[in-house]
């Protein structure tokens, strides 16, 4: 879990930064932007999710430090921390599970949509002053203590 969700993004970020360093800088001196995926689990980890939560917290922690380290070569770093999102796998899940996952989403009361994630990626790329931030994309999710293995429909 940690290898996949923390070591993998760290390694990809390292390789991207090295490649971006060779880019011609724009008018701000920027050569590229790295956007990783964290999760609301970085702050609100659930029972039976310790490794996943730790990995995603690692991404959130990595982001600001990486932005500061890469500033000298003109590379920005941000992360997106999605809450419950509609994925092809989740679309096949029972409605009871989807309802359980969205129960504590403040507004809009639904799963996030792929275009919303993509729009945030686009905004990060377009706004050069946005750097070193992990942005929650979760409809103001408030996550109470839950054992995800006991979720309805499992």
Is-contact 66 47, C-beta < 8 A? no
Could you tell me where the beta strands, DSSP code E, fall in 7-126?
32-37, 75-82
| Distances in whole angstroms, Cα of residue 9 to Cα of each of 34, 77, 102 | 10, 12, 27
Which one of 52, 53, 79, 80 is the catalytic residue?
A: 52
In what side-by-side order are the strands of the sheet with 32-37? 32-37, 75-82, 134-137
Residue closest to 109 by CA, chosen among 120, 95, 99:
99
Q: Residue 52 catalytic?
A: yes
DSSP bridge partners of 136: 81
Q: What is the H or E stretch that residue 136 is in?
A: strand 134-137
Q: Which residues are catalytic?
A: 52
């Amino acid at each position: 879990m940690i290898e996949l969700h923390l070591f993998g993004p760290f390694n990809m970020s390292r390789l991207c930064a090295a490649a971006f360093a060779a880019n011609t800088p724009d008018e701000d001196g920027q050569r590229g932007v790295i956007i990783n995926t964290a999760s609301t689990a970085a702050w609100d980890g659930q029972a039976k999710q310790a490794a996943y939560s730790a990995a995603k917290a690692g991404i959130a922690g990595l982001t600001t430090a990486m932005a500061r380290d890469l500033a000298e070569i003109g590379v920005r770093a941000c992360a997106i921390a999605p809450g419950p999102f509609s994925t092809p796998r989740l679309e096949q899940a029972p409605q009871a599970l989807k309802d359980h996952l969205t129960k504590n989403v403040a507004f809009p009361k639904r799963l996030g949509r792929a275009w919303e994630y993509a729009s945030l990626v686009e905004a990060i790329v377009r706004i050069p002053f946005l750097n070193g931030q992990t942005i929650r994309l979760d409809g103001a999710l408030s996550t109470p203590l839950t054992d995800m293995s006991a979720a309805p429909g499992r």
